[in-house]
Amino acid sequence: MPDLDWNQATWSSDANWRDHGEEWSAHWGGTEALWREVIAPRIAPLLPARRAVEIAPGHGRCTEWLRRSCDSLVGIDLNPECVAACRSRFDGEQGLEFRVNDGRSLPGVEDASVDLVFSFDSLVHVDREALSSYLREVARVLAPGGAAFLHHSNLGSHRRLCALSRRLTGPPVPYRLGRWLRRNLLINPAWRAEDVSWRTVRRDAAAAGLVCVSQELVNWENRARLVDCFSVLRRAPDVDIGQALPEPIANRGFMRQARQIRARSLGSG
């Protein structure tokens, strides 16, 4: 399971930034299409933001788009190399700032000062301990009425299947056959945190003083297994918790939608 050391080592290596993260948008035909058709519709109710924080921006793939709807944005990443890449990419841009952190806190962000905390395609690799620390930080920095959109792992909902998949698809099974079996029949863990699920996030959010107002489970790089979750969180005082929280939405069509978006965006390009 990925931990802070794994995240530090993996994302400080140039080998994983051949196209500055654009390569991960290929499922949707590019970052513009990913933003326009996947991310923007999901965060539209949370924008525009006066002040935003992006956790783990990497080389700024989403920052490029998110910044257009924010007066100011602070990007905070574990890896100094990623922070340097963002500083260089957005050099001279007003209202943008990038900081290195310890992988679990939001240094220099004042209490109750932020309208939106955003993170996409990063916290999936972050374990429960670090993620719950971020949830406490989100509760600390959100201003009244503010919200967080966090993309995190849901592998914790499939622990037995993960163990079975490891047993049945590891060596001596040939790599390509193992990958096919994981993606199509068992589960493709894709370096997600195995101790995080939509339930643990709900629980840890509540302990931090936050409420998950919506959760969407998606089959990222899997045929059917819902390995990821998009959670929208608000401060408990802003939410009427007299009502039952909504059940998560199970979106097994997420990768099919990606293929449709890709076909449209490449067709129109």
Ligand X SMILES: C[S@@+](CC[C@H](N)C(=O)[O-])C[C@H]1O[C@@H](n2cnc3c(N)ncnc32)[C@H](O)[C@@H]1O
Q: Which parts of this chain interact with ligand X (CB under 6 A)?
A: 4, 7, 11, 21, 55-58, 61-62, 77-79, 82, 101, 103, 120-122, 125-126, 130
Upper half-sphere CA count for residue 69 (Cβ side, 13 Å): 22
Closest CA to 30 of 260, 268, 265: 265
| Chain residue whose CB lies nearest ligand X | 58
Using the minimum distance from each CB to ligand X, give the nearer residue, 152 or 225.
Answer: 152
Rounded least distance, CB 92 to ligand X, Å: 21
Distance, in Å, from the CA atom of 82 to the CA atom of 60, rounded to the nearest integer, reads 8
Rounded least distance, CB 154 to ligand X, Å: 17
Q: Which residues share a beta bridge with 151?
A: 230
Using the minimum distance from each CB to ligand X, give the nearer residue, 53 or 186.
Answer: 53
Using the minimum distance from each CB to ligand X, give the nearer residue, 56 or 226.
Answer: 56
The interaxial angle of helices 128-141 and 198-208, nearest 10 deg, is 40
Using the minimum distance from each CB to ligand X, give the nearer residue, 128 or 234.
Answer: 128
Using the minimum distance from each CB to ligand X, give the nearer residue, 4 or 245.
Answer: 4
Rounded least distance, CB 102 to ligand X, Å: 8
Rounded least distance, CB 35 to ligand X, Å: 10
174 touches 213 (CB < 8 A)? no
Rounded least distance, CB 202 to ligand X, Å: 20
Residue 26 is given by DSSP the state G
Max intra-chain CA distance, the chain: 55
Calculate the dihedral angle through the C-alpha atoms of 226, 217, 83, 20, rounding to the nearest 10 degrees: 60
